[in-house]
Amino acid sequence: MIKGRAKKSLHTKPVKGKAKAKAATKRKRVRRVARGKPKPGHIVAHSRRRRKGEILCHNHVLHTAATANGVHGFHWFTVCAPAGWDPASEEWQVCPCGWRSELGKHYGKADHVQWWREQIKERGSLEAVYREVRKRQREYRDRDMG
């Protein structure tokens, strides 16, 4: 999709005059509302450094310590977390997966965190869990239907 411009189509006529100005105003208004003050626990940004009042989080997709954003569907993002707000209220918990430890503490949803804890306990180490994850990723890649 083309950003900033309306998508051209063979079946529609271009918008001119007042209608064009009205459409542009409406788009701007929608953007302003979306950029309002975020509520605690809401995703603030994708793939950018966290700022004061934000926590680093990632989704539930299986990953290793070095998995990059977008690989096998893995994504990280920042969530609004003002002072005094408890991440557990939105089911965010400190994640033990070891992903990007140089960035410090990060969070995952409670069921994802529970899965990692169980796997580490069952397999004995984080590296053993990574071996299993890499094995699963190879299997998925071989069966990928695209």
What are the pLDDT digits (tens) for 87-104? Answer: 998 889 999 999 998 988
Residue 145: pLDDT band with limits 50, 70, 90:
low
pTM for this prediction:
0.69
The tokens describing 65, both together, are 């310590």
pLDDT at 49: 83
**pLDDT one-digit tens code per residue, 57-81:** 999 999 999 899 988 889 999 999 9
Enumerate residues 6+ apart whose C-beta is below 8 A from 65: 97, 98, 99, 100, 101, 126, 130
Whole-angstrom Cα distance, residue 119 to residue 130? 10
* Residue 32's pLDDT band (cuts 50, 70, 90): very low
SS3 54: strand
